[in-house]
Amino acid sequence: MKSIEQIFNDNYDFEKLKKNTVHLLENLIQNSDNNFLKDVEGELPKGLKYSDLKIKYNCTNIFVNNNDREYPYFRISLHLVHPKTGIRLFYYDVDYNIDGEFSDEYFSRD
pLDDT, tens digit (0-9, with 9 covering 90-100), for 10-65: 999 999 999 999 999 999 999 999 999 999 888 999 999 999 999 999 999 999 88
Q: What 3-state DSSP class applies to 67?
A: coil
pLDDT at residue 69 above 90? Answer: no
**Long-range contacts of the stretch 41-44 (C-beta < 8 A, 24+):** 43/89, 43/90, 43/109, 44/89
At 13, is the secondary structure helix, strand, or coil? coil
Measure the CA–CA gap between 46 and 95, rounded to whole angstroms: 31
- The whole-number pLDDT of residue 49 equals 93
Contact criterion met (CB below 8 Å) for 104 and 96: no
The pLDDT of residue 94: 97
> Whole-model pTM?
0.90
3-state SS of 71-102?
CCEEEEEEEEECCCCCCEEEEEEEEECCCCCE
